[in-house]
Structure 1
Amino acid sequence: MEKSFARKLNLKPLFNSLIFGTAIGTFVFILFKQALFLGLVAGILAFLLESLIIYPHYLPTLYGLWKITNEDIYYYDYSTWQKRIQAIFLPTVKRQQAIPFSDIKSYALVVSKKADKWTPHYIVLRIDNGDSIALDLSWNLLKTGAPEKDVEWVVDFITSKLGQHKVEVFQTK
């Protein structure tokens, strides 16, 4: 049994950064009457801004694929900026980390409330070594059908695996 959540890491962030840099470079080249040097510098700076600052900031939310099996939870480790940049430039090399249920001390659900409706956003795992891992649920809630069933299932499954009697719920704004 295996169930996946969120989107898989791919080449799209790098490709989008290249397109953004090319578009800005071309715009500057045309704007400054075909100044090739200015166009190249602007394009390279735009590419670096997009790929080294903007995408790494949003990477865990945009490409935070994680999956759950009977024995482990697999997730992408985006704990440092360097790991995020490596994921953008080498997505095919980036491998998921596995955390066995025996290493999980407890977990909590992070939710928000809008118009009298509770929406889950993350599951936060607390590991025996003191670290915390956030697992994104928001992409699954955008699916058609009954995505709430996926969230209910994973909460029940983790609860049963950990023997935790109740789930801590944290509310965000």
Structure 2
Amino acid sequence: MLDENKLQQLLFECAEQRQAALSELYTLTSPKLYGVARRLLQSHPQAAKALQEAFVYIWYRAFEYTPDQGRPFAWMTSIVRNQAFRLMRLETSQEKRNHLLLGEREVYMRNDRFFDEYHARSNPLLKELQECLDELEPSQRHAILLSYYYGYSQYEMVNKLKHPVGTLRAWIRRGMKRVRSVCDAYQ
């Protein structure tokens, strides 16, 4: 059984940035909090990640805890749950993006066209955008589409394209400069 008074005192000490308090708080509560994350996420790596992120949050936000909000362990449990739900949403959106990307990549690799002809004919702006994108080098076009259309972060792009972040930034910067100049010529 957890001593709520002890947990409350440790949270107050964490608010004062005492690392020993965080360490003791982790030792006392992590097994039960891990169980909460594990039940929600059904995965050891994801549960461990949620727990880690929850304790980082607790470390930086311990000053927000007040006893009138409820018991300390309940407050910490809600943080772990929120982190677990955030990871679930992130995983779902990444799976959707990856699924979309695989489908789009097949079309993209097959004919190096981003929009199919039907959509380009039905929307003149898409046709213009496709013409602007056609002016780019394939590496620039791919980096821009991953970043702006699919919403990939720089870290995700590095993992996906296997190029350094500086290279990807340069491709995007040069590609966007080229798109602006080409699209300005269309207007």
TM-score when scaled to structure 1?
A: 0.30
**Which structure is richer in relative contact order (CA contacts within 8 A, separation 6 or more)?**
1
When you count helix as a share of all residues, which structure comes out higher? 2
Q: What's the TM-score, normalizing by structure 2? A: 0.28
Higher strand proportion, which one?
1
